[in-house]
Chains A and B, each alone.
Chain A
Amino acid sequence: NAGVTQTPKFQVLKTGQSMTLQCAQDMNHEYMSWYRQDPGMGLRLIHYSVGAGITDQGEVPNGYNVSRSTTEDFPLRLLLAAPSQTSVYFCASSPRQGAKTEAFFGQGTRLTVV
């Protein structure tokens, strides 16, 4: 039972480079989201999707793009990496059954931008 799978686990980028963080879930969940985790700030929502073809911005969307072409996949793109994007990134999914359901998280991607 894979759950939510994120790749890669670790990545080092140079300023100005681009990359895509991959996220896939095999639970047929409608709702998927990306968070970044920074010391003392908890998790902050970057982008989310309520279903294939539908995405929206979260609390800290600047510098990131997303798309949702299938129910399973929700990649996060950094177009011009900056040192401020050094963080740990988590993808999460949940069934769309209202506010009472838990979110399922991937194991995270630790990104360093130098």
Chain B
Amino acid sequence: GNSVTQMEGPVTLSEEAFLTINCTYTATGYPSLFWYVQYPGEGLQLLLKATKADDKGSNKGFEATYRKETTSFHLEKGSVQVSDSAVYFCALTLKTSYDKVIFGPGTSLSVIP
């Protein structure tokens, strides 16, 4: 079936460190890929997305590239800030699934000064 796997953490980094959160997927057809972020006490919000192979999504210094050959969509940021502390969810949707979103388990990130 369709699924998303991501490192669960928790991940603790010092401010200005480099961040990578791995995400791989299994899907029939050609999914669209998303990263959502959940700040403490809030709902999820879209961070970035990519809708076809080799697309790069970017927002707020975060980037992820849709790699069809490795079925991956790893999230990266060159220099994290304390304000980036949150839970990050990798997700996919399929055209055949009426926009149902399939989420990974989430990765908790804490950035310390």
Residues of A within 8 A of B (CB): 4, 6, 31, 33, 35, 40-45, 48, 50, 58, 90, 92, 94, 96, 98-103, 105-108
Binds A, one of B13-21, B39-47, B72-80: B39-47
Distance of A89 from chain B, by nearest CB (Å): 10
Chain A residue numbers with a CB within 8 Å of B99 are: 31, 94, 96, 98-99, 101, 103
CA distance in complex: A35, B99 (Å): 14
CA distance in complex: A43, B102 (Å): 8
Chain B residue numbers with a CB within 8 Å of A42 are: 4, 89, 103-106
Contact B98 A31 (CB under 8 A): yes
CA distance in complex: A90, B36 (Å): 14
Chain A residue numbers with a CB within 8 Å of B4 are: 42
Chain A residue numbers with a CB within 8 Å of B32 are: 99-100
B65 at the interface (CB under 8 A from A): no
Contact A45 B104 (CB under 8 A): no
CA distance in complex: A50, B100 (Å): 10
CA distance in complex: A41, B5 (Å): 11
Chain B residue numbers with a CB within 8 Å of A108 are: 42-43
Contact B105 A40 (CB under 8 A): yes
